[in-house]
């Protein structure tokens, strides 16, 4: 009997990877397929078919998660159906970009940025990706880019820009004279290893400057909502909204839902009121709320935390935002930006706020997109960020403090890491079977 138990255990162990590893099946229907035909196929394969994107009307491409052990059987059963053009297992493609071609960048202000970038293990992440292929929309006070009426900041000249818009003034030049938006953009993609200024997290990503706040730093619901939709419609993979203070807005919530449906990651500042309630829009469904920590990895005194005013939605993650109250100027987040006193000049400035923590998360997401590929599901990026965060036992930090280095490592070794988990589970079951057999049979 013991031999039988051992044999069964080994068989189970060998079978587990197939059982525990669902795969994505791509089903491409013919253009004239009906909803009833799609539902018939769902019943046939025993799994729900998801419209791959808003392009379904023209592509008729759907996906389904199915058990890996049944893939061959499913394909053989449905690939001959008259309404199916093709069916296959989804494959993963990586961005062509590799890691950084330097060990330590030569930017002179890197030392001042060390505390916050070391905290998220940025140098480790750079070995695996640099943001190439990802686009981040910065919804803020603007970012002075190419072809602006103001000189482009020198340390953004090597940064990729795509066309944006100024919704505050209804112009095509989303310039920044206030400095907030440029500081945020620099955290995400400041030109790096160019012997100038500081560094950016995903320095090979593209910035889409979307000005939704005026030169005084104020913006209204309609402008922000349209800015979100503009970003989603024009290829943004990530949206950064370092803004807040207003109440709930259904118009904005609808715009956020629209962007989420288009697979866009939206990072929002939790707020600087130091309360146990996160502000809107961070508290809206679809926004990934970010709280701020200082150099000591503790929640900054100003950072809001907890859940939204309705008590339904909590923080996503915490990231370095600075704490100048306890650590002085060096305790802030240092980035290049426009001089708020003279928009023709620029410099390195130390700012603090959940506004600074949010682009830490947004830039990290862009770097992960460059590793996984621009078509990656937003949920996968979110999972890598939360599952690798440095856990802190408090609702003040969401999933924990951002650890981009660990997230990038996990993303780059996706298949092997999942398989390791499967085998760990298999080993646990195997041991349990042996223990149970020993108790029963002596």
Q: Give yes or no: 195 in active site.
A: no
Q: Give yes or no: 355 in active site.
A: yes
Q: Give yes or no: 233 in active site.
A: no
Candidate list 107, 140, 176, 308, residue with the active-site label: 140
Candidate list 116, 180, 183, 237, residue with the active-site label: 180
Candidate list 249, 355, 370, 412, residue with the active-site label: 355
CA 190 to CA 155: how far, in whole Å?
6
Catalytic residue positions? 140, 180, 355
């Amino acid at each position: 009997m013991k031999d039988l138990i051992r044999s069964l255990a080994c068989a189970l162990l060998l079978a587990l990877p197939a059982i525990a590893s669902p795969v994505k099946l791509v089903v491409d229907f013919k253009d004239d397929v009906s909803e009833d035909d799609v539902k018939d196929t769902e019943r046939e394969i025993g799994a729900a078919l998801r419209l791959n994107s808003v392009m379904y009307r023209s592509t008729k491409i759907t996906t389904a998660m199915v058990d890996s052990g049944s893939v061959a059987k499913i394909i053989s059963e449905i690939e001959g159906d008259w309404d199916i053009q093709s069916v296959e297992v989804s494959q993963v493609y990586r961005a062509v970009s590799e890691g950084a071609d330097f060990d330590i960048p030569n930017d002179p202000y890197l030392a001042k940025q060390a505390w916050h970038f070391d905290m998220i293990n940025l140098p480790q992440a750079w070995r695996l990706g640099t943001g190439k292929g990802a686009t981040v929309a910065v919804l803020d006070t603007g970012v002075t880019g190419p072809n602006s009426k103001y000189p482009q900041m020198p340390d953004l000249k090597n940064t990729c820009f795509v066309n944006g818009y100024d919704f505050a003034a209804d112009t095509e030049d989303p310039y920044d004279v206030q400095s907030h938006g440029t500081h945020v953009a620099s955290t995400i993609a400041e030109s790096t290893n160019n012997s100038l200024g500081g560094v950016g997290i995903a320095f090979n990503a593209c910035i889409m400057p979307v000005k939704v706040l005026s030169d005084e730093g104020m913006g209204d619901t309609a402008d922000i909502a349209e800015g979100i939709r503009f970003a989603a419609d024009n290829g943004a993979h990530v949206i950064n909204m370092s803004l807040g203070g207003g109440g709930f807005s259904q118009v904005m919530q609808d715009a956020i839902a629209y962007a989420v449906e288009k697979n866009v990651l939206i990072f929002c500042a939790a707020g600087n009121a130091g309360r146990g309630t996160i502000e809107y829009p961070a508290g809206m469904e679809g926004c990934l709320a970010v709280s701020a920590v200082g150099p000591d990895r503790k929640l900054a005194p100003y950072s809001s935390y907890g859940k939204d005013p309705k008590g339904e939605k909590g923080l996503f993650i915490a990231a370095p935002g600075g704490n100048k109250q306890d650590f002085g100027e060096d305790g802030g987040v240092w980035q290049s930006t426009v001089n708020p006193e003279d928009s023709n000049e620029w410099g390195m400035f130390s700012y603090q706020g959940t506004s600074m923590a949010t682009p830490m998360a947004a830039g990290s997401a862009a770097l992960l997109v460059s590793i996984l590929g621009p078509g990656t599901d937003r949920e996968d990026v979110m999972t890598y960020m939360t599952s690798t965060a440095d856990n802190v036992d408090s609702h003040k930090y969401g999933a924990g403090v951002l650890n981009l280095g660990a997230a990038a490592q996990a993303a780059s070794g996706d298949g092997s890491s999942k398989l390791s988990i499967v085998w760990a589970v298999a080993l646990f079951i195997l041991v349990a079977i042996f223990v149970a057999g020993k108790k029963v049979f002596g």
